[in-house]
Chain A
Amino acid sequence: MTVDELQQLALKEQEAKQRYRCRINVCVATSCIMCGSERVKEAIEEAVKARGLEKEVLVQGVGCLGLCSAGPMIYVEPDGIIYHKVTPEDAPAIVQGLVSTPVERLICPPDLPFFKRQVKIVMENSGTIDPERIEDYIAVGGYQALIKALTEMSPSEVIEEVTKSGLRGRGGAGYPTGLKWSTVAKANGARKFVICNADEGDPGAYMDRTILESDPHRVLEGMAIAAYAVGAQQGFIYVRAEYPLAIKRLRTAIRQAERLNLLGNNILGTTFSFSVELRIGAGAFVCGEETALMASIEGKRGTPRPRPPYPAEYGLWGYPTLINNVETFANIPPIIRNGGEWFAKIGTERSKGTKVFALAGRVVNTGLIEVPMGITLREIVFDIGGGIPEGKRFKAVQTGGPSGGCIPEQFLDLPIDYESLTKVGSIMGSGGMIVMDETSCMVDVAKFFVEFCMSESCGKCVPCRVGTAHLYELLRRITAGEGTMRDLELLEELCDLVKSASLCGLGQTAPNPVLSTLRYFRHEYEAHILDKTCPAGVCAIRRAEEVPA
């Protein structure tokens, strides 16, 4: 396929879409499928057929619409109506609603802050295109960024654009993407690799999965642009085995892109060649760490190694390797299309663009949100999230998964960016955001994360392997009412040791949940130790000793 043919395909697809009077978009991402959205889609297709509207109404499966707790979700274009909690029985009424008035009882208010406060860049196509059709992606301007890069820009110009955008790694640490790319581009190697890290292991985070399920071609396009910029010809996507639907859609997407020569040899008739292979993880959290991930791709146990040398110089099989997260790659096509300066206008001084968060826990609207950097936690929890259900009191937001921390109420007005979150003892992380109310015990939460790190520690270095086990034991004692004040000191001392002496990010960040809860919720620890009570009523000591405070 040549560039001209691709442009023609885009036009043809756009016309085909416009022939329909309206489109009923049914969310077919994992969350909605669990609520039965596939049956809803079939029922609507039947209802459309029963009324003989097949030529006027297009029923299609689309990516995530965001409000996962109210699934299955449906988005009707061009009316812009969003239905939620739809059942197959509602199908005839919804189709009827296309000609008369919409079904009132299923409508999700369109002015809901949940939808209004979001800014969509990465998720721009979610909810409007069919993730299993490359033609849909091409029709909305997909692969135009790749064409632009290949035909109008030199590799160094691409890197310059990415640098100008100020994009930082969305995997959690926030390393400047442009800088990483230029390091790999400058590195000497007979071959180079590009890896997409889709081993999203943080419990409570599912942004990457949803991006892959909703718009897989965007990630492939981002990877191809990156490969062109750094001079790689081979790419790998490392996905968790726990995400079967994402894997299936990626396989489909790769096959489609190869068929249209958007991947493979001499892409679009240029001299650039790039192919992508999928690698399926096998359930090891530590494989999200880049050196462990590369070991796993090589077919080995996923244990990290000391850095430097960094993967940019010595990566997969010893060759220079670029590793970026799914969301980072997903940001690349719009940056190339609209220019780095456009992207740099969004966000804060040092954190540009938007961030996708998985909002979950004790909050009314749980789901996936994309917000500009610099938004406050209060806006996310109370405006977008709709506040805490059942009239309970907000206690903390946990960001960054097992590597992050708990942010208490006093920082609700903090504008979110990489630096501000680090300053209050948490991290941006990959984007999991768990809201907790008064029914959560912070010591128990710390114990939960330490238990996680303990069992996910790969065992290579002692501080992490033994340290997390002892941290867990100390927390277990405290939550069982057997702790002493000396244990608190020990806890702090041990946190410091594990943090500074561990080999990789898993161990270095494992104490964060403990440290942040100790910092802001020390009174809860003390209540467990001194009063032998669990203020939230979670830990078992409450039952053992019924002593009223």
Chain B
Amino acid sequence: MPAAAATLERPRVTPPSDDKRWRIVEATMRRHGYQPHALIETLHTVQETFGYIDEDAMRFVAQALRVPLSQVYGVVTFYHFFTLKPQGEHICVVCLGTACYIKGAPQILEAIERTYGIKPGETTKDGKLSLLAARCLGACGLAPVAVFDGQVVGKLTPEDALKQIRRWEEDDGR
């Protein structure tokens, strides 16, 4: 690692709000000694804590790590994992890896697209459902695979996928 920047006497950068969750973000930066190379690790924490990375967050991280805002924005938009907008209440990730593709993942995606009018990367207007496409979840033995709110389901059919989403709607309606 490069020689540590003088971290002792730098003015404290105040978080964008008094939301307590910023402390978690600050803890990550502290653990890495506020080094610029902790940028991606810090953004991971922001994404994990808030669900997305907005402009305030980017400005705060940029100042605290002394990285140009342009570089922060560049990094956030370069990596697929970071999002600038909040996700829907429920998230459905369809794996589009080779094995899943061969075994019918496009049909699953198509069924959801048709039924809910959203494409991968989009959220329904009511903010209920986000549809995402994954490159490969590494569960190729169970292809095709999708993740419904963190729960992975293998050997999926388009009907099963729609049923899962409908279950969310029913649960929320109650």
Contact = CB atoms under 8 A, between A and B. Distances in A.
Interface of A: 30-31, 34-35, 67-69, 71, 200-206, 209, 234, 241-243, 279-285, 296-302, 317, 358, 360-362, 366-368, 398, 401, 432, 434, 436, 440, 445, 448-449, 452, 456, 458
A366 B74 contact: no
Contact of A299 (B38, B98, B141): B38
B138 interface: yes
29 contacts: A34-B145, A34-B152, A67-B141, A68-B140, A68-B141, A200-B138, A201-B136, A203-B98, A203-B101, A205-B136, A206-B138, A279-B41, A282-B44, A282-B82, A284-B80, A297-B37, A299-B35, A299-B36, A299-B39, A299-B75, A300-B39, A301-B74, A317-B1, A358-B141, A360-B141, A362-B102, A366-B141, A434-B98, A434-B102
A203 B97 contact: yes
A298 B139 contact: no
A362 B81 CA distance: 30
A269 to B, nearest CB: 26
A35 B142 contact: yes
Contacts of A358: 140-141
Task: Identify the interface centre among B36, B67, B75: most chain A CB within 10 Å of its CB.
Answer: B75
A282 B81 contact: yes
B69 to A, nearest CB: 14
Given A282-B40, A298-B37, A452-B135, A434 B99 contact: yes
Given A361-B99, A361-B102, 19 more contacts: A34-B139, A34-B142, A34-B145, A204-B140, A206-B136, A241-B44, A280-B41, A282-B40, A282-B44, A283-B80, A297-B37, A300-B71, A302-B79, A358-B141, A360-B140, A360-B143, A366-B142, A445-B102, A448-B101
Interface string B36-80: 111111011000000000000000000000010001001100111
Contacts of A280: 40-41, 44
Nearest to B99: A360
A71 B152 CA distance: 14
Chain B interface residue number, banded: 35 or more
A243 B41 CA distance: 15
The residue in B40, B99, B153 that gathers the most chain A C-beta atoms within 10 A of its C-beta is: B99
B154 A283 contact: no
A201 B40 CA distance: 18
Interface string B125-154: 000000000111111111101000000111
Given A282-B80, A282-B82, A398-B98, A296 B40 contact: yes
B134 A242 contact: yes
Contacts of B154: 31, 34-35
Contact of A203 (B41, B79, B96): B96
B103 interface: yes
Nearest to A366: B141
A488 B128 CA distance: 45
Contacts of B138: 30, 200, 205-206, 209, 242-243
Given A34-B154, A203-B97, A440-B102, A279 B40 contact: yes
Contacts of B36: 299
A300 B73 CA distance: 11
Given A280-B40, A360-B143, A398-B98, A201 B81 contact: no
| Max chain A C-beta neighbours (<10 A), residue from B39, B74, B80 | B80
Given A68-B142, A282-B44, A299-B75, A241 B81 contact: yes
B2 interface: yes
A366 B99 CA distance: 10
A301 B1 contact: no
Contacts of B136: 201-206, 242
